[in-house]
Structure 1
Amino acid sequence: MNIGAILFLLFSLFLGSFQTPVSEPVHVIDTESMEGVFGFTNADGTSIIVHGLGVGQEAAMSKWNKAIGESGKVLSVKYATYQKGNIDKSSGRDTSYNFENMAGYIFNVKEGSSTPNETYFLINENDFDLKALLPIKKTEDALKNDSLIAKEISAKKQRPITNIWQIAQFSDSQKLFLVKFKRQGDDMLFSLVLQREDKLLFNDFPAKTKDEISVWRVDDGGEVTPDMFSLLFAAKTSDGLALSIEWWGSEGENTFVIADDGEQFHELPISYYRYTYPT
Structure 2
Amino acid sequence: MQRSQAIVFRNNYRLNPVYDLYKNGGTDLRKIVCALMGLMLVAGVFGSSASAGSTASATGELKSEKLAFGYTDASGKRLLGFESVKPGRFTQAIYAPGAILSVKFQKHQKLSSKSTGRQNEWNFERDQGEIYQVVQGKIERNSTVLLAEKDAFIGHEFLKFKPLSKGTFSKNAIGQIEKTKKRKVLHQGLIGQVNHDNQIGIVEYARVKGKKPLASLVMTTPSGPIFEDFEGNDDPQSTWRVSDGGKIEADWFGVLFVTKSKAGYSIGYEWYGDEGSSLKVVQQKGTKFRLVEQGYRYTAGI
* TM-score computed with the length of structure 1 as normaliser: 0.80
CA gap 1:254/1:157 in 2 versus in 1, 3 angstroms = same
Q: Is the 8 A contact 1:68 1:75 kept in 2?
A: yes
Match of 1:242 in 2: 266
Q: Distance in 2 between matches of 1:100 and 1:33?
A: 27
In structure 1, the gaps of 5 or more residues are: 1-25
Pick from 203, 214, 218 the counterpart of residue 238 of structure 2: 214
Q: Distance in 2 between matches of 1:76 and 1:124?
A: 10
Q: Distance in 1 between matches of 2:205 and 2:227?
A: 13
Match of 2:121 in 1: 96
Shift of 1:264: 2.3
User: What's the RMSD between the two structures over aligned residues?
Assistant: 2.3
Query: SS of the counterpart of 2:194?
Result: strand
Matched, 1:75 2:101: yes
Partner AA of 2:224 in structure 1: K
Partner AA of 1:163 in structure 2: H
Match of 2:87 in 1: 61
Q: Distance in 2 between matches of 1:250 and 1:188?
A: 20
Q: Distance in 2 between matches of 1:79 and 1:169?
A: 34
Query: SS of the counterpart of 2:139?
Result: coil
Pick from 196, 220, 223 the counterpart of residue 247 of structure 2: 223
Q: Tell me the percent identity.
A: 29
CA gap 1:143/1:123 in 2 versus in 1, 3 angstroms = closer
Q: Distance in 2 between matches of 1:254 and 1:74?
A: 21
Shift of 1:52: 4.1
Partner AA of 2:239 in structure 1: V
Partner AA of 1:187 in structure 2: K
Match of 1:106 in 2: 131
Q: Distance in 2 between matches of 1:213 and 1:150?
A: 27
Cα deviation code 1:241-275 (max 9, x no counterpart): 1111111110111111111124322222x111111
Match of 2:19 in 1: none
CA gap 1:132/1:143 in 2 versus in 1, 3 angstroms = closer
Match of 2:184 in 1: 160
Query: SS of the counterpart of 1:199?
Result: coil
Q: Is the 8 A contact 1:27 1:132 kept in 2?
A: no
> Which one has a larger percent strand, Structure 1 or Structure 2?
1
**Number of aligned residues:** 245
Q: Distance in 1 between matches of 2:187 and 2:171?
A: 11
Shift of 1:178: 0.8
Q: Distance in 2 between matches of 1:180 and 1:275?
A: 25
Which entry has the higher C-alpha Rg, 1 or 2? Answer: 1
Q: Distance in 2 between matches of 1:171 and 1:143?
A: 14
> Which one has a larger percent helix, Structure 1 or Structure 2?
2
Shift of 1:72: 3.4
Query: SS of the counterpart of 1:150?
Result: helix
Cα deviation code 1:176-213 (max 9, x no counterpart): 1210111224621110111111411211111231x311
Q: Is the 8 A contact 2:59 2:263 kept in 1?
A: no
Q: Is the 8 A contact 1:252 1:275 kept in 2?
A: yes
Q: Is the 8 A contact 2:97 2:158 kept in 1?
A: no
Matches within 5 A, 1:263-274: 263-268=287-292, 270-274=293-297
Cα deviation code 1:52-95 (max 9, x no counterpart): 44xxx5xx1112111112223101100111222422x2111111
Which has the higher relative contact order, 1 or 2, with Cα contacts under 8 A spaced 6 or more apart?
2
Match of 1:200 in 2: 225
Shift of 1:130: 8.2
Query: SS of the counterpart of 2:220?
Result: strand
* TM-score computed with the length of structure 2 as normaliser: 0.74
Partner AA of 2:61 in structure 1: D
Pick from 266, 275, 279 the counterpart of residue 298 of structure 2: 275
Match of 1:6 in 2: none
Matched, 1:172 2:196: yes
Match of 1:147 in 2: 171
CA gap 1:111/1:130 in 2 versus in 1, 3 angstroms = farther
Range with greater deviation from structure 2 (248-257 or 156-165): 156-165
Q: Is the 8 A contact 2:77 2:137 kept in 1?
A: no
Q: Distance in 2 between matches of 1:49 and 1:74?
A: 16
